[in-house]
Amino acid sequence: MLLKLIIIKTGTAFVDTVERYGDFDEMVCRGLGLARDSIQVINAFQGEALPNPGDCSGVVITGAHCMVTDNLPWSLAIEQWIPSIIQEQVPLLGICYGHQLLGRAMGGLVDYHPRGKELGTVDVRLCPAACSDPLFTSLPDRFPAQVTHSQSVLSLPPGAVLLAENDFEPHQAFRIGGCAWGVQFHPEFNCDIMHDDIVQQTDELTRSGRDVEALLRNLQETRQATGILGVFAKLALARWHT
């Protein structure tokens, strides 16, 4: 049987963003750089069944606009499924919401960040363990990344390896075991998508006192962060052919 890389879709982007750039799964597909017939999208938030770990060459769990602490039934199902993926050593990449699900599934604490929402293009710093990590080893010590999140992994799971941080978010990336990663930032976002995401939140941001124009001026491309998706695809392909 042909293994496929599985995208677990946990929500949809803003309607206008979807029309211009595609939904979260389409953004991830572009970043992975794989043939579309080698990827299967599971709309978990719509109740589609999660796959058997043995049928997956790799798994990407997308971001979402809901919160992990909402404890939605389909989200709890993913959380309960994640340990089986790790036990089978299937490469796993959790993005934003997926990063938080991975953290909580393995014993970490997820809740609202005490400083509020992190949004826009931010600088990320690698931690010492990243130099020997297969997903992060080719990245520079500092690189820009796109972020939009209100919740965070406030405490890492037992045994997690911290890979990246910044002054706002101490857990920008971590690894569990040999092949499960969480990234709080969005490697699937380019500058245009991040611009669109901020604009869609203008009213909320203005009410909370954020300077929307400053956020937009600070945007920049984040090709190094985006490259993580292609590296992850290669790791999944390596499993595919073993």
Catalytically active residues are 96, 186, 188
Strands (E) located in the chain: 4-9, 39-43, 56-61, 92-95, 109-112, 118-126, 142-149, 151-155, 161-165, 173-176, 180-183
Residue 83 CA, distance from chain mean position: 17
Q: Which secondary structure element, helix H or strand E, spans residue 53, and what is its range?
A: none
Q: What are phi and psi of 161, to 5 degrees?
A: -105, 120
The dihedral built from the CA positions of residue 82, 88, 89 and 90, taken in this order, carries a sign that is: negative
Q: CA 222 to CA 186: how far, in whole Å?
A: 10
